[in-house]
Amino acid sequence: LIALIGTYTSMGSADFSGAYRVQKTNKNKLIKDLIAQGALNDYSVDGLSQLIGYQSRTSFYSAFKEVEGMSFSEYRDTLSSSH
């Protein structure tokens, strides 16, 4: 995969990994902002994750945990306890 990326882009493996992590971080921020605005009242977690570009709930949950250091369920529980 890294060789393919290097062939078709000017990115090395570290650049690609960093850009990919930034993308996941931005998606997590977006979904957290949407949740703060009440989007879970209108959309399921599946719907929100697809809306911001994840192909499956599993990929969303994995990316969320990697970036945030907690599962989405744990994050949602912190919102419930703060209200």
Cβ contacts of 12 within 8 Å, gap of 6 or more: 6
The pLDDT of residue 28 is: 81
pLDDT confidence band for 16 (50 / 70 / 90): low
Convert the pLDDT of each residue in 26-78 to its tens digit.
888 888 888 888 888 898 989 888 888 888 889 889 888 888 889 999 998 98
Q: Report d(CA 44, CA 66) in Å as an integer.
A: 21
